Amino acid sequence: MANATELTVFTQDNPDFPANPEAHHDADLAISWHHDIETVPTLMRVVDGKAVDRTVGWHRDEWERITGLGSELPPMRPGCGSMSVDPDLVDELRVRFGATTLSSRRVEVADAEDDMEMMFNRGWTDGLPVIPPTEERVMRMLTGTSRESTEIVATVPPDLIDITVEKVAVSAVMAGCLPEYLPWVITAIEGACTDEFNMHGLLATTMPVGPVIICSGPGTRAIGMNSGGNALGQGNRANSTIGRALQLVIRNFGGGRPGEVDRSTHGAPGKLGFCFAENDVDSPYGTLSAQLGVDPGVDAITLFAGEGPRCVVDQLSREPDSLARSLAANLQVLHHPKLVMAFDAIVVMGPEHARVFDDAGWNREQIIAGINAHLNRPGSDIIRGAGGIAEGLPEEFAEVPSVPKFRDGGLMLAYAGGGAGLFSEIIGGWVNGAVGSQPMCRAVTY
């Protein structure tokens, strides 16, 4: 660093170089860190203790401009990476010198104690191993968002605990997220912890349901989410860990543990985390988030209180009405053929099924209307006792000539899946409306 009368040299590695002028050894890299040195050499002009100009690498014209020195230098020679941005060191330096100080309680682990087993024993896991949330890892996770670590994200049910961005970062680390996933996790938590979504009710119900996270927008591709083959399955880090992070927040901060507030009779694999991306690039009918009011092209998360997916097989329909009838026949039995309007559903249509509708020129509204047209049944068919089945609607529906399966807006469409296979998936919902859960759609905030 230099001013008009003095030249001070700092070195990161060899304290004996240069000898003239004598170098100051930046042994702990504090000088490099606090001055944001990314490349060495970096030459800075300092006035009244503040850096007012800098140049990176060996640029003779720049060195002469800033210091009047450097005529003996070659015209240009690039520098090399600073040790203060070395991936093997930066996490430690961020903890040591970072502006953010973590407020979370530090848990001391004995040398003879296994980190993984300790977290199992304390009930912090979902039954699978979690990543120990060290200070270095949490600080690294916080680089994924511009939001302050102390900002309150949500009040988490059922225990109604206020959770900060830092606490979300802790859970995201444990779930295995990368920092770039953090804004998606935060947005999912914000949506899940609303009265409309009713996470407390979703835990307390005995139905096998949980939050389903459907992501859309160009950001899904930027973080490497899967919207193609096996999108609803395993194998993709973002898909697997974003949903898991939400569940760990609900478990560890909200107190939503199985056998306690979580009263599900059977449960479902999706309770570990159910998250996938829509293929909005190839979708012939846009995105679910757009159906729910978010502008196309905006990164968004849709939260749906849903069960595990069920497959619809129709490999012969080549006309849209035939395929609509197939989808309707499968949707008719959702939860029970004689229970209607109380449950919503999402059809995750595969590309080959979607192509049947697209080739016929059907848009999203026409597809939904075409399916719904085959879902109406006479009330006399679905009242209690009809067909020898005690389950059903109350007797007063017997005279209703046509009862729809879904409420207005209760049938939704998403687009995802591999290019081969004449299949679609149905995700059935929990009880809808004021007594249950409303789908939530939010733009991602970074």
Summarize the confidence of residues 52-70 as an average pLDDT.
85
Q: pLDDT tens-digit profile of 83-139?
A: 989 888 888 888 888 767 888 888 888 888 999 999 999 999 999 999 999 999 999
Query: Residue 258 above 60 pLDDT?
Result: yes
Supply the DSSP symbol for 88: T
Bridge partners of residue 215, in order along the sequence: 277, 301
CB 234 within 8 A of CB 334: no
Query: Residue 213 above 90 pLDDT?
Result: yes
Q: CA-CA distance, 379 to 402, in Å (whole number)? A: 6
Cis ω before 404 (30° cut-off from 0): no
Q: CA-CA distance, 321 to 125, in Å (whole number)? A: 47
Supply the DSSP symbol for 190: H
pLDDT score of 99: 67
Arithmetic mean of pLDDT over the chain: 93
Summarize the confidence of residues 2-6 as an average pLDDT.
55
Supply the DSSP symbol for 90: H
pLDDT score of 305: 98
CB 264 within 8 A of CB 306: no
Spell out the domain ranges in the chain. Answer: 9-85, 135-443
Bridge partners of residue 425, in order along the sequence: 311, 348
